[in-house]
Amino acid sequence: MDAVLFDRDGTLIEDVPYNGDPSLVRPRPGAALALAALRRRNLPLAVVSNQSGVGTGRITMTQVDDVNRRTEELLGPFSATVVCPHAPDDGCACRKPAPRLVHDAAERLGVDPARCVLVGDIGSDVGAALAAGARAVLVPTAVTRPEELASAPAVAPDLEQAVAMILAGRA
């Protein structure tokens, strides 16, 4: 793999619905160690995140940017952060499970999407990866539905195991 992409909410940080407050950012267990392992291998890392709260007027892009900055303060830098600000009914091409966020992140990183792995916690993350020709690892949380778990091509119990699978070529 040439790059690893991550969903933000529920994967890298605890999911706080429509979070626009950087003080509420809390890394998911193992996130810092998992990212450090990838950085030691000099793999470019990116965040791909649906932020429908912007499109529905619940939060602003400035607030999303503030939360992204806080995420980087706590977990280290990412080579790219790509956000879909559209509401679910907007019909955009970037909202996961559509592939555009993955394509955009790969382009910013200078890699082929087929050489990327996307790590996420729900089916739309997996769907976006597969639609873009990338690989996917599902790290389930309390919101992951059983059918998403059953249909995922690769599943890891936590971020550290997801990274171990990626580095071992099993994802």
What span, in angstroms and rounded, lies between the C-alpha atoms of 79 and 83?
14
Q: How many domains does the chain have?
A: 1
Q: What is the pLDDT of residue 170?
A: 85
Cβ contacts of 21 within 8 Å, gap of 6 or more: 63, 67
Q: What is the pLDDT of residue 109?
A: 98
Q: Which residues of the chain have pLDDT under 70?
A: none
| Active-site residue, 112 included | no
Which residue of the set 9, 104, 121, 125 is catalytic?
9
- Enclosing domain of residue 130: 3-167
What span, in angstroms and rounded, lies between the C-alpha atoms of 140 and 143?
8
Cβ contacts of 119 within 8 Å, gap of 6 or more: 4, 5, 6, 7, 11, 125, 136, 137, 139, 159, 162, 163, 166
Which residue of the set 2, 7, 15, 104 is catalytic?
7
Q: What is the pLDDT of residue 171?
A: 82
The CATH number of the domain holding residue 10 is 3.40.50.1000
| Active-site residue, 158 included | no
Q: What is the pLDDT of residue 105?
A: 98
At 27, is the secondary structure helix, strand, or coil? strand
What span, in angstroms and rounded, lies between the C-alpha atoms of 66 and 23?
10
